[in-house]
A and B are shown apart, each in its own frame.
Chain A
Amino acid sequence: LAKTTQPISMDSYEGQEVNITCSHNNIATNDYITWYQQFPSQGPRFIIQGYKTKVTNEVASLFIPADRKSSTLSLPRVSLSDTAVYYCLVGSTGGGNKLTFGTGTQLKVEL
């Protein structure tokens, strides 16, 4: 299983761009990288997924360097409602459905 490491917490202000990095040094060839958002008393919710290079959707971007040993979730112009815990997930698409969630990064956005 890939081991993942994330910062425990980050603080930001409304309107700023936030970048959260996840380290996954022993990522396997078949592993995908996925980020989830979780609010208190709710289940995680999908944000974005990638395999390599850069992926962008309507809420975030995901940057993955060529060696894939880390990934960075970028949230543009955050608002108070982006205050949540963000998890990276690294998992294999091969046999066994092995996956590892990071310990999560608590993002706090202030005015």
Chain B
Amino acid sequence: NAGVTQTPKFQVLKTGQSMTLQCAQDMNHEYMSWYRQDPGMGLRLIHYSVGAGITDQGEVPNGYNVSRSTTEDFPLRLLSAAPSQTSVYFCASSRGGGLAKNIQYFGAGTRLSVL
């Protein structure tokens, strides 16, 4: 059972470049979410989805886009990368009923550097 799979594990971008961070889960979870983790800070919610076709903003959504066409996949897009987006990104999935109420299963993360 793979759980939550994130690709790539590492990525280096130049300012202004675009890229998509991939996230897939095989647990048939309704909820999926993206977080960023910066040194000395906790995880901050970027965007989340409560089901296919439904997404919403979290605490720090600016500069990121998401869509959810299937239950399994929830990609995160950076349209024009900025150095401030250098971070470690985590994808998570959970059952329905609320992000905070249910156990979230996290991927291993993508370490992104924007030069």
Once the chains are docked, how many angstroms separate the CA of A35 from the CA of B59? 20
Once the chains are docked, how many angstroms separate the CA of A85 from the CA of B43? 12
Contact between A44 and B43 (Cβ–Cβ < 8 Å)? yes
Once the chains are docked, how many angstroms separate the CA of A103 from the CA of B101? 20
- What is the total number of residues of chain B having a CB less than 8 Å from a CB of chain A? 27
Given A87-B42, A103-B42, A104-B42, A97:B100 Cβ within 8 A: yes
Which of chain B's residues have a CB closer than 8 A to the CB of A99? 45, 99-100
Contact between B92 and A89 (Cβ–Cβ < 8 Å)? no
Contact between A31 and B42 (Cβ–Cβ < 8 Å)? no
Return the contact of A41 from the options B35, B50, B108 (Cβ within 8 A).
B108
Contact between B108 and A43 (Cβ–Cβ < 8 Å)? yes
Which of chain B's residues have a CB closer than 8 A to the CB of A44? 43, 90, 104, 106
Once the chains are docked, how many angstroms separate the CA of A20 from the CA of B40? 17
B29 CB–A CB distance under 8 Å: no
B83 CB–A CB distance under 8 Å: no
Report the minimum CB–CB distance from A108 to chain B (whole Å).
17
Given A87-B42, A91-B100, A92-B100, A97:B108 Cβ within 8 A: no
Which of chain B's residues have a CB closer than 8 A to the CB of A26? none
Binding site for B on A (CB under 8 A): 1, 4, 31-32, 34, 36, 41-46, 49, 87, 89-94, 96-104
A-B contacts, 30 listed (Cβ < 8 Å): A4-B42, A32-B100, A32-B101, A34-B100, A41-B109, A43-B4, A43-B107, A44-B90, A44-B104, A44-B106, A45-B106, A46-B104, A90-B100, A91-B100, A92-B98, A92-B100, A93-B97, A93-B101, A96-B56, A97-B45, A97-B50, A97-B56, A98-B100, A99-B99, A99-B100, A100-B42, A101-B35, A103-B40, A103-B41, A104-B42
